[in-house]
Amino acid sequence: MSNSQNQEPAPHVALLPSSGMGHLTPFLRFAVSLAQQGVQITLITTHPTISLAESQTLSHFFSTFPHITPKQLNLLPLNNATCDNSEDPFYVKYEAIRLSSHLLKPLLSSLSPPLSALVTDMSLASTVIPVTQSLNLPNYILFTSSAQMLTLFVSFHATVGSKAPNNSDKTEDYFQTGLQSIPKSRIPPPLLSDTPNLLRTQIIENGKKMIQSDGILVNTFQTIEQDSLGALNDGKVVNGLPRVTAIGPFPPLGIERTQSVPWLDDQPDGSVLYVSFGSRTAMSREQIRELGDGLERSGCRFLWVVKEKKVDREDGGELGEVVGDGFMERVKERGLVVKNWVNQEEVMSHKAVGGFLSHCGWNSVSEAMWNGVPILAWPQHGDQKMNAVVVERIGMGLWAEAWGWGGGEVVVKGEEIAEKVRDVMGNELVKAKAKCVREEARRAVGDGGGSKKGLMEVIEIWKKSF
Q: Which residues are catalytic?
A: 23, 121
Residue numbers at the binding site for ligand UDP (CB under 6 A): 20-23, 25, 91, 94, 122-123, 145, 149, 198-199, 202-203, 206, 276, 278-281, 305, 341-345, 361-364, 367, 381-383
Residues in the chain: 466
Query: Is the omega angle on the peptide bond into residue 249 within 30 degrees of 0, that is, cis?
Result: yes
CB-based burial label for 438 (10 Å; 0-12, 13-18, 19+)? middle
Q: Report the alpha-carbon distance of residue 39 to residue 33 in Å, rounded.
A: 9
Asked if 219 and 248 count as a contact pair (C-beta separation under 8 A), the reply is yes
Q: Report the alpha-carbon distance of residue 239 to residue 167 in Å, rounded.
A: 24
Which residue's CB is nearer to ligand UDP, number 115 or number 360? 360
Q: Write phi, then psi, for 409 (nearest 5 degrees).
A: -55, -50
Helices (H), 18-176: 21-36, 52-64, 89-99, 104-110, 125-134, 147-159
Strands 180-183 and 174-177: antiparallel
Q: Report the alpha-carbon distance of residue 388 to residue 383 in Å, rounded.
A: 9
Which residue's CB is nearer to ligand UDP, number 11 or number 20? 20
Distance of closest approach, residue 218 Cβ to ligand UDP, in angstroms: 11
Distance of closest approach, residue 142 Cβ to ligand UDP, in angstroms: 10
3-class SS string, 151-182: HHHHHHHHHCCCCCCCCCCCCCCEEEECCEEE
Distance of closest approach, residue 465 Cβ to ligand UDP, in angstroms: 26
Distance of closest approach, residue 64 Cβ to ligand UDP, in angstroms: 15
Q: Report the alpha-carbon distance of residue 421 to residue 416 in Å, rounded.
A: 9
- In 344-406, which ranges are E strands? 353-358, 375-377, 397-399
Which residue's CB is nearer to ligand UDP, number 40 or number 451? 451
Which residue's CB is nearer to ligand UDP, number 27 or number 91? 91
Which residue's CB is nearer to ligand UDP, number 220 or number 344? 344
Distance of closest approach, residue 387 Cβ to ligand UDP, in angstroms: 8
Q: Report the alpha-carbon distance of residue 304 to residue 440 in Å, rounded.
A: 28
Distance of closest approach, residue 341 Cβ to ligand UDP, in angstroms: 4
